[in-house]
Structure 1
């Protein structure tokens, strides 16, 4: 019996996404040697090498499969997302793969390089009149008859945290032959909360990591996640927008799961930018600001381990490449204009 046309298209769409995944190699786990941290091995999983250039490639793939299998996405469906850039770029990639229209609703001030990349992939950018990109995205979806993907709600449930090619499973597989195969800490930022939820659940699920691996989330200025983690409040809001694109939110997103997080570390923005510049120089290629935020958290935990005589490993992420931030992170004039204390921002990196 022939399948109905909608099922035929669904099978084609899932096969297209799975075929794209099969053509893509896993991301590398890069060991970073830093002076003064003897006994603590530091690794960064390089998510910038995904076809769409960032960690959000994994999320976008999961969101599309989730939407397809829930019957929310069909042939010709307009895909709409609220995003400051990286998720929109990754969703534009998959929308083009499935030959679907894509609209990214972005806040004012989103990096021009990110807007250009969305458009290069065939998407359309809709700049919201205010910081309330959620309501605007819902309105655009209604007007187009499309599907609002709502990464902030579905990030923690679209990915199979038990281990279906997710980032946590990949980290533990790649660490297997290292001197300290079970990390003492895994350090990530939170944008939607999906990555921290996936990793936090996985380390509780896998018997080799229970009681050993711990989940730390770094949070930039202007974000309410750290305060929510401390207090348990989910009604917190802020009128600030994070300078660290991709992480930090002015509200507690539905996908943020505080119970699976062992530690929150608040990081000053100037230190995040300084650390991203430092790591870019050390690696010989540019990384984005959120990777700098991760590095500051890694250093704090490593120094705490050394202070009490612990040895082990810490794993974090290179979230995206730095070429998208040429007019901010890699613009010396912008940094000095933005941060009055820029000259002292790198003090925490001294001696490395």
Structure 2
């Protein structure tokens, strides 16, 4: 569903709507990408019965892959940075996935580190595991086109619910899938719509304003966003404001 924020909107003199993606089965919009990524891989023959799904995630994608992958009876191995909250780890394990905690180093323990960068050490482990074992499939949410493909469907939902009356779309940026997928659809249908990306002000690593490529483990969708020039402005939010 989509909900109008009457009180905040009145204070700001604007009509503000939010998409309630927290009402998805495992609690976030990441259910969309988990289902799309897994089913596309099955159709392509990359993911087969008896395979293990591996992924590096700082939370919601891990939960969603654990949930969807469990329904499809795959073994799931999730690499999590050591700063992840214990309740998220417990939720992942309740869905039957295996968790492996990855030491991140002191520089990555900052609460404002970019979500996509905190997952890099785990991505390296996923890459190594996939290269060594033929029955291991790495979901690669950071670069998998199925990620933003799922969110293009979300964009179509938003368009229908808002009857094509949208001036501005705002989304936070992790892997960039939500922003990229929705923005592609909105710009195709409403060329004048403004797209705003939100990220931590103190993030000093991979982001839309401070971009670094590590072959095989960064880039992906974030680079596609930069190349597409779909984003009109990047908004940086401080820890204090957050």
Instruction: Please indicate, yes or no, whether the TM-score normalized by the shorter chain is above 0.5.
Output: yes
Contact kept? 1:102, 1:124, Cα under 8 Å: yes
User: C-alpha separation between the residues in 2 aligned to 1:151 and 1:122?
Assistant: 20
User: C-alpha separation between the residues in 2 aligned to 1:161 and 1:56?
Assistant: 9
Q: Are residues 185 and 64 of structure 1, via their aligned partners in 2, closer, same or farther at CA, if it must alter by over 3 Å?
A: same
Partner residue in 1 for 2:12: 37
Contact kept? 1:218, 1:266, Cα under 8 Å: yes
Contact kept? 1:226, 1:265, Cα under 8 Å: no
User: C-alpha separation between the residues in 1 aligned to 2:231 and 2:139?
Assistant: 25
Q: Secondary structure at the match of 2:142?
A: helix
TM-score between both structures, scaled by the size of structure 2: 0.82
Choose the corresponding residue for 1:253, options 213, 219, 225: 219
1:265-344 to 2 correspondences below 5 Å: 265-272=235-242
Q: Which runs of 5+ in 2 are unaligned?
A: 105-117
Q: Are residues 95 and 252 of structure 1, via their aligned partners in 2, closer, same or farther at CA, if it must alter by over 3 Å?
A: closer
Partner residue in 1 for 2:180: 197
User: C-alpha separation between the residues in 2 aligned to 1:89 and 1:161?
Assistant: 17
User: C-alpha separation between the residues in 1 aligned to 2:150 and 2:232?
Assistant: 17
Contact kept? 2:159, 2:186, Cα under 8 Å: no
Choose the corresponding residue for 2:97, options 86, 111, 123: 123
User: C-alpha separation between the residues in 2 aligned to 1:54 and 1:62?
Assistant: 14
Deviations 1:202-224 (A, max 9, x none): 12222xx122x221110113154
Choose the corresponding residue for 2:191, options 202, 210, 218: 210
1:236 Cα offset (Å)? 6.1
Partner residue in 1 for 2:207: 225
Q: Secondary structure at the match of 2:16?
A: strand
Partner residue in 1 for 2:137: 147
1:158 Cα offset (Å)? 4.4
1:16-95 to 2 correspondences below 5 Å: 28-33=1-6, 34=8, 35-38=10-13, 40-95=14-69
Q: Work out the number of aligned pairs and report it.
A: 216
User: C-alpha separation between the residues in 2 aligned to 1:128 and 1:161?
Assistant: 28
Contact kept? 1:75, 1:100, Cα under 8 Å: yes
User: C-alpha separation between the residues in 2 aligned to 1:252 and 1:81?
Assistant: 14
Q: Secondary structure at the match of 2:96?
A: coil
RMSD of the TM alignment (CA)?
2.1
1:235 Cα offset (Å)? 2.5
1:32 Cα offset (Å)? 0.7
Contact kept? 1:226, 1:266, Cα under 8 Å: no
Contact kept? 1:79, 1:101, Cα under 8 Å: yes
Moved over 6 A (4+): none
Q: Are residues 254 and 125 of structure 1, via their aligned partners in 2, closer, same or farther at CA, if it must alter by over 3 Å?
A: same
